[in-house]
């Protein structure tokens, strides 16, 4: 009985570490990004986060309240259309963000952590840095969500539901459309007493934030162990492979190939190398006549990479 109870608690612990904890962390990071970088610089980063920030600016209510209000109907949509686990996991992160955003208001002098404000050139510099930093942290939160549950929640839930009905509309296109609506809505919310340029500033900051968020998310999802795959067609595979393994210290795989123009048997060598080794490998290949090569980027290399 004790052994069975131990196994059950072990599975619960493993599920918490692999699924629940990352979602909680993503929620905290999202709230940190919104409070510290997005709100002080007055721009809406798109999606559910941006909508909550816009509503906070209009009404004066905390953005966490609006995140919670938006998350409730999205939970039921995800629950009935996507599945129980997806609904719980995708909503949990936004509920955590909501709680943190509402909770920070209770901490004395917490506003000193906000990055933004100023006048003239200072406001522009703070805005650009704030949009970049906010995009980085929002990208980290998004990547964590995608890695642990396969969805970012928020407007992605609506996009997934629409995609189920209309397969010709991709989820990424729909999500981008929702982001665009929120971003360009900020033109009619911020700086209404200012010039056209003043009204356009929040839109441009939001676009900067979205680009940085997307790039940061891609880096984390694809992994930092990026490399390049060379495929080399040659008549002298043994000597070329030997030199590559000796100088670059990476393994080489030989594949039998046939040239379809003359129907001659040749060999194709496949090798994965680091970016800094591209030039050296190109110099090696040039030594061998009648050799054809091309390379492409790969990401998240697994297994034994070094010879």
> What does the pLDDT average to over 46-59?
89
With respect to residue 304, please indicate whether it lies within any of the assigned structural domains: no
Residues 190 and 254 in one domain: no
More confident residue, 67 or 109: 67
List C-alpha distances in Å: 8 to 4, 13, 18: 6, 9, 15
The C-alpha atoms of residue 158 and residue 154 are separated, in whole angstroms, by 8
Structural domain boundaries enclosing 58: 2-222
Mind giving me the DSSP string for 159-181? HHHHHHH-TTS-HHHHHHHHHHH
pLDDT at 137 over 90: yes
Q: How far apart are the first and last CA of the chain?
A: 49
Per cent of the chain over pLDDT 90 is 16
Question: What whole-number percentage of the chain has pLDDT above 70?
Answer: 86
Residue 247 lies in a domain: yes
Same domain, 50 and 164: yes
Residues 204, 57: Cα–Cα separation, whole Å: 18
**Sign, CA torsion 48/171/141/42:** negative
Report d(CA 144, CA 146) in Å as an integer: 6
Structural domains counted in the chain: 2
Which distant-in-sequence residues (6+ apart) come within 8 Å of 225 by Cβ? Answer: 299, 300, 301, 305
For residue 240, what is the DSSP state?
H
Nearest-angstrom CA–CA distance, 186 and 39: 13
Eight-class DSSP state of 291: -
Residue 164 pLDDT greater than 70, yes or no: yes
CA gyration radius for the chain?
A: 26
Residue 261's CATH number: 3.30.70.120
Whether 293 and 231 have beta carbons less than 8 Å apart is answered as yes
Question: How many other CB atoms are found less than 10 A from the CB of residue 164?
Answer: 11
Q: Express each pLDDT in 227-272 by its tens digit.
A: 888 999 988 889 998 998 888 888 898 888 877 777 778 888 999 8
Q: What is the pTM of this model?
A: 0.74
pLDDT at site 209 = 92
Helix ranges (DSSP H) in 16-150:
21-33, 47-59, 63-81, 84-104, 121-149
Residues 125 and 177 reside in one and the same domain: yes
Q: Per-residue pLDDT for 9 more than 60?
A: no
Over 70: is that where the pLDDT of 156 sits?
yes
Examine the domain organization and report whether 89 and 213 are in the same domain: yes
H helix or E strand, kind and range, residue 293: strand 292-298
138: in domain: yes
Q: Indicate whether 151 and 16 sit together in one domain.
A: yes
Same-domain status, 86 and 73:
yes
Q: Is residue 175 part of a domain?
A: yes
State the pLDDT at residue 204. 92
Where residue 307 falls among pLDDT bands split at 50, 70, 90? very low
Structure tokens at 23: 């979602």
User: Measured at the alpha carbon of residue 139, what is the angle toward residues 138 and 144, in degrees to the nearest 5?
Assistant: 100
């Amino acid at each position: 009985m004790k052994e069975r109870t131990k196994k059950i608690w072990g599975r619960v612990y493993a599920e918490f570490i692999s699924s629940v904890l990352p979602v909680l962390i993503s929620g905290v990071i999202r709230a940190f990004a919104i409070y510290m970088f997005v709100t002080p610089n007055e721009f809406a980063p798109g999606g559910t986060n941006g909508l909550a920030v816009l509503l906070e600016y209009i009404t004066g209510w905390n953005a966490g309240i609006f995140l919670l209000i938006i998350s409730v109907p999205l939970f039921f949509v995800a629950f009935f259309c996507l599945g129980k686990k997806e609904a719980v996991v995708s909503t949990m992160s936004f509920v955590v963000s909501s709680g943190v955003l509402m909770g920070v208001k209770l901490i004395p002098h917490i506003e000193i952590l906000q990055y933004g404000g100023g006048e003239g050139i200072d406001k522009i510099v703070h805005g650009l840095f704030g949009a970049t930093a906010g995009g980085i942290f929002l990208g980290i939160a998004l990547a964590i969500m995608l890695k642990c549950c396969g969805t970012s929640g928020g407007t992605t839930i609506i996009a997934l539901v629409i995609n189920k009905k209309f397969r010709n509309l991709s989820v990424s296109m729909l999500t981008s459309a929702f982001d665009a609506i929120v971003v360009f809505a900020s033109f009619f919310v911020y700086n209404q007493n200012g010039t056209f340029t003043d009204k356009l500033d929040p839109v441009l900051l939001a676009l900067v934030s979205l680009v940085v968020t997307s790039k940061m998310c891609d880096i984390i999802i694809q992994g930092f162990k990026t490399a390049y795959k060379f495929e080399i067609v040659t008549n002298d595979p043994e000597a070329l492979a030997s030199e590559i393994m000796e100088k670059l210290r990476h393994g080489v795989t030989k594949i039998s190939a046939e040239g379809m123009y003359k129907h001659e048997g040749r060999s194709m060598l496949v090798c994965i190398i680091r970016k800094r080794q591209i030039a050296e490998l190109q110099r090696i290949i040039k030594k061998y006549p009648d050799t054809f090569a091309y390379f492409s980027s790969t990401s998240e290399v697994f297994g034994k990479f070094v010879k």
